[in-house]
Amino acid sequence: MPLAKISILLDEPVAVIRPELHGQFAEHLGGCVNGGLWVGENSPIPNFAGLRTDVLNALKRLRIPVLRWPGGCFADDYHWEDGIGPRKDRPRRVNTWWGMDVEDNAFGTHEFLMLCRHLGCQPFLAGNVGTGSPREMRDWVEYCNFANDSTLARRRAQNGSPQPFGVRYWGVGNEAWGCGGNFCPEDYGAQYKRFATYLRDFPGTPLFLIACGPDGNKPDWTRRFLRKIASGDARFNYRIHGLGAHYYCGTAGPSATEFDANQWYELLHKAAGVEQLIREQRTVMDEFDPQRKIGLLIDEWGTWHFPTPGRNPLHLWQQNTLRDALAAAITLDTFHRHADQLAMANIAQLANVLQAVVLTEGDRMVLTPTYHVFDLYQPHQGGRSVRVAFEAPPIRFAVRDTAMQLAGLSGSASIKGNVLILTVVNPHATLPLEAEIDLAGRSISRAALNVLSDEDLAAHNTFDQPNRIKPSEEALQIEAGEVWHVFPAASVSRLEFELD
């Protein structure tokens, strides 16, 4: 069995892991909101004021820090006033991006804020630039955040919320380079400035305004957008607090559940590519913003497999296997290692769409392997990321005759009080890997281990077998203060140490 070493460099702190790096995203798309989160009060499916009880309870456990809504592409065709007031009077609109479904607007601003309250998370509203106006968006901000006696604040009170919602995170459009208006960076820059001018901080709620970043790692978009924003005004960053890139690592192989070992490695390698995005985007941002007042976000990320036969391809429903779990773990570990460079990240999407953490069908729900990774990684939230050195033989593979390699082990570590959390991915499809874990001479009073793994690389949960794959609690061998551990093939492990 090959040997490896993991050194935790306790005296090399990176930054606190903002809980927002574990954010989620929900769009009016297929079964994400309608059916996945929301069934309505009159549904036979058990619900709390219209929100599915099973999903709500499962999500609470993840301590979701922030939830982005209502899109996605849907956001730039969404008019917030359609989703307030008595539900019977709300208009029925066509969801032109996602299958021409009729959207009844039963789940609107108040329902979303109620969901966030139940989950204990911050709301992140994506505003409409594509088909909206600065006036429409500034009114939404006032409706949500103004405490005194304006007409919009009165409407909010009549609709059940006398207290302002205090929404801090606002996206100024979505994917401005594509479904958000097909802008070039300069034209979007001009739109951004115009919208941001009117998005004001009402007392008690300073806004965090988020501009649309690039499609993947495109330095050109970021540089041209920031140059436009900077032009003519030395205080350019006055009304820009974040820039949100999107990173979909895509797929490899014929489907979510059918792939060979090379395609397994290919997808994990693509997931690891998010590291290059973080480094390069931050470098471009630093040219304009050396003090890093503008945060880098990745407000959509995840796997995106080919359409599932028998499902509407525009509903983006996909199964979620152990491979997706490792892709999620590699991505979250990368975020932790770059905690000093990232302000927020949101996986796409919460339920039934793309790399979902829950799948529902009628009154049944399953937790996906990706859910289990978020659950395992949750204790990293708020911990201080410290540098970790991994020494392990790289994995060599080929994609269409091109030789490639993937790190033999990867992960992240964080410390909170005297508790050290170490998460580790062994991406090898067949080989376990024994590693020494060097804790920089610290002794341990308690250790715990949880592992997500399976002999079948495509292991997944179904409505008939909802617990086919889930983490197991295992014993960790510690002898004379030395920690040696065999990381199983194709695994995600969480090790927890209480340091003396």
| Phi, psi of 111, deg, nearest 5 | -65, -40
- Determine if 348 is a binding residue for ligand AHR (CB under 6 A): yes
List the one residue from 23, 71, 213, 383 that touches ligand AHR (CB under 6 A): 71
The distance of closest approach from Cβ of residue 73 to ligand AHR in the complex, given in angstroms and rounded to an integer, is 4
Judge whether 376 and 325 are in contact, CB under 8 Å: no
Report DSSP state, residue 19.
G
**Minimal distance, residue 7 CB to ligand AHR, in Å:** 38
Residue 266 bears catalytic tag:
no
Interface with ligand AHR includes 6 (CB under 6 A)?
no
* Region from 194-202, 347-355, 387-395, 447-455 binding ligand AHR, contact rule CB under 6 A: 347-355
Q: What is the dihedral of CA 250, 468, 68, 147, to 10 degrees?
A: 180
Residues 151-190 binding ligand AHR (CB under 6 A) are 174-175
Q: Which is nearer to ligand AHR, 27 or 375 (CB)?
A: 27
Q: Are 127 and 139 in contact (CB under 8 A)?
A: no
Position of minimal CB gap to ligand AHR: 72
Q: Which of 402, 425, 400 is nearest to 412 (CA)?
A: 425
* Contacting range for ligand AHR; rule: CB under 6 A; set: 5-13, 149-157, 346-354, 438-446: 346-354
Q: How far apart are CA 76 and CA 293, in angstroms?
A: 27
Does residue 27 bind ligand AHR (CB under 6 A)? yes
68 contacts 24 by C-beta, under 8 angstroms: yes
Is 73 a binding residue for ligand AHR by CB under 6 A? The answer is yes
| CA 232/CA 42 separation, integer angstroms | 55
Neighbours of 354 (CB within 10 A): 26
Q: 500: which 2 tokens? A: 């003396």
Q: Which of 112, 21, 44, 99 is nearest to 377 (CA)?
A: 21
- How many chain residues interact with ligand AHR (CB under 6 A)? 10
Shortest Å distance, C-beta 370 to ligand AHR? 14
Could you give the CA distance from residue 49 to residue 52 in angstroms, rounded to a whole number? Answer: 9
354 binds ligand AHR (CB under 6 A): yes
CB of 97 to ligand AHR, least distance (A): 7
Residue 196: closest CA among 122, 123, 141, 150: 141
Q: Indicate if 436 belongs to the active site.
A: no
Least gap, CB of 349 to ligand AHR (angstroms): 6
Of the candidate spans 61-69, 348-356, 381-389, 483-491, the one that interacts with ligand AHR by CB under 6 A turns out to be: 348-356
Catalytic pick among 20, 111, 175, 275: 175
Any contact of residue 130 with ligand AHR (CB under 6 A)? Answer: no
The answer to whether 117 and 166 are in contact (CB under 8 A) is: no
Q: Catalytic residue positions?
A: 175, 300
Positions touching ligand AHR (CB under 6 A) are 27, 71-73, 174-175, 300, 348-349, 354
